[in-house]
Structure 1
Amino acid sequence: MTSDELLAQHELDEATEQLYWEGDALERTGNLREAAVRFRVVADLRLGDAALRLARVLLALGEHAEAKGWCGLAVLDGFPEAVELIRDNSEERQRFLEHAARVMVGAPTFDWLPASVPSGRIEPADVRARTAALRTLDRRYGGIACHSAVLTHLARVEPYIVVGDTALWTAVAEVHELAGWTAFDSGQPGAALPHFSRALTLARQAENEALIASVLTRAGRMFLHHNAPDDALKAFQLGSVAEHNSWADRRELSDPSLAVAALTTKVDAYDGHRLRARVLALIALARNHLALGDLAAASERGVEAVVEARVLRSARAQDQLRWLDQEARAAGASVLVEQISARSARRG
């Protein structure tokens, strides 16, 4: 090889290496489409682990067919771990759906925690106001326009879940939901699932069935978009159950008899580790019995709620008991009114 040929080869190798490291930097900053462009050039030359890196990026982008081809080349280039990539992608969806199923029956408290505990506090209303502004940007301009800003917002507010309450858990869950949705809309479905999973955990911690339903519906739409209809159907079905539970918990119901059936099932499913959820379901059950004119059943369930709420410190439960008291007085359920009044006197 002549000196000119050696020089040309050296310059080609340098340019290729530069593309590889550009791809690496782009992947780390979340710009997966541009990372794929760089890795594709290097992988075409069969250099290093570029085929493996490209396959991983393509899976995160939801480009499963092309990723599978590059996985095959990566194996030929001496990277047998590429065999696991395709399998892992499907397993990620399965793990998400298994997590969602656990959430539906009462998942453990937190399955992750932020690395540090913040000082001071943050107002849920402020979190939600910023989230609403970012959601408006997403709807108007698309996920790519605001995904980075959503992640910045999330990094600032997420640590406060360790010192938060129901309102803050809900607010941060909504940020995770938006982060997952904008990741999907940015062409990064692989990055969306961890956000959806954490949104479900926080929504369950807050006993927010409507938010659980929303997250599962969004995940289902993402699965459907990326040609996984069976997994999409499972997510939609779980979301439908959560939506039904949310509907059954509303203060005013068009069909209290259906609500009674749904709430009775919920009450029976809750154990001592989910006292607040059980008390809220009992109160909702009592109120729907009142709506049906069954004062005996309303009093039985309402008194049960009052007794179990003695060790519960929850403003939401207190509000629900106040509404139950108002409705019990209007319906003439004197036994229930006396029990609620006695509780209020003791708290006094």
Structure 2
Amino acid sequence: MEQLEAQTRSLRSVDYQFGGGTCRDAVVVRIYWAQQLLNAEATDQVRARLHSAVADLHNLAGWTSFDSGQVGAAYHHFDRALEFARHDEDLTTNIVYRRGRVHLHHGAPGDALAYFQRGALSPLASSIMHANEAWAYARQGRAEEALRTLGKAKDAFARADDEHVPDWARFHDETDLTAMIGIVHTELGDTGPAISALTVAIEQFGPAMARSWTFCLIALASCHFMDGDSDVGRTVGVQAMGAAEGLRSERVWDRMRPMAHLAASRGVGLS
């Protein structure tokens, strides 16, 4: 069980740094072996932990499938994760959040809201849900609700216990929240606060979070193009393109395209 948990942590780190395409197959191939562990005799406490470990492996399989552009596989693994995580409220919330992100990414913010508004028990999980709820509102152009919900995300994060964070929620630290603030303001076209937040996040993200760093570069370039600052936009946009080349993430390229179109509308090429 400890080996399974350690492998999932390691593969999740690979996903963050290099993209889901680099590790999805390695995640999926471990699922059959992991599920065989459930046939072993164990105490109720150990069995519950095993179910959480298998659920989180499916959770990661869903996320890496999503990042690889395999939406059907992502939904399958998230559904399986929910089955195994019925006893684990915090993990269930994380799986629901990730399922909502698939809808948000693929142009269905209303459907995404239904997942993000599910609620959460822990302050950290609440912060994740509220931040993404704000993003969905912003995608719908509902600025007042987006900013109000973003405030809830900040408040929940301030109450979070940063010493006992499950691996599946560890990504949501102060830098990630700052990045989300920048993304929400970018969606709203509020470029001043967006540029400030994104600049801070870009400075603070380390190599271990290369994909998140790249997402922020894409958003920052978009903000500069929206402001008519094409020279800076091109510099940041080219940097984002270079960073994306080092990742195996379809999501990165999905987000790159609107920025590239925005650049082209300003007569700027990024090649």
TM-score in same-fold range (> 0.5): no
Higher RCO (Cα < 8 Å, 6 or more apart): 2
Q: Computing the radius of gyration over CA atoms, which structure comes out larger, 1 or 2?
A: 1
TM-score bracket for this pair, using the shorter chain length? 0.3 to 0.5
TM-score normalised per structure 1 = 0.36
TM-score normalised per structure 2 = 0.45
